Amino acid sequence: MNTPCRAALHLLPVLAMLAGCATAPGYDARFGDAVRQARGAMTINPQAGASADPVAGIDGQAARDAMARYHDSFKAPPPVVNVINPGSPAAK
């Protein structure tokens, strides 16, 4: 029953779908530029890892205590703060 013609009819939709993947949209070339630009703007010194100078700032004891306080802050929920709103039904 005219198989070459039927095979061509099945092949045409496949070729049309593949043609859609043949070219990439123009935005792919610049995909991620905004993220890279923002990360670059937040980096103070990109070569900081190559420097052998110690970091100036907080000493080890103070850093350890600060981290301990930070970790302890998650052990119990923060206290509830009662806010009195003059327009709420509870204020009447």
pLDDT category at 38 given cuts 50, 70, 90 is very high
pLDDT of residue 65: 95
DSSP string, the chain: --HHHHHHHHHHHHHHHHHHTSS--GGGGGTTHHHHHHHHHH-S-TTGGG--SPPPS--HHHHHHHHHHHHHTTTSPPPPPP---TTSGGG-
Total-model pTM: 0.31
Q: How far apart are CA 56 and CA 45, in angstroms?
A: 14
- Whether 90 has a pLDDT exceeding 60, the answer reads no
Tokens of 63: 């850093």
Is 24 or 21 the better-scoring residue by pLDDT?
A: 21
Predicted confidence (pLDDT) per residue in 57-88, tens digit = 888 899 999 999 999 988 987 788 877 777 66
In the predicted model, is pLDDT for residue 40 greater than 60? yes
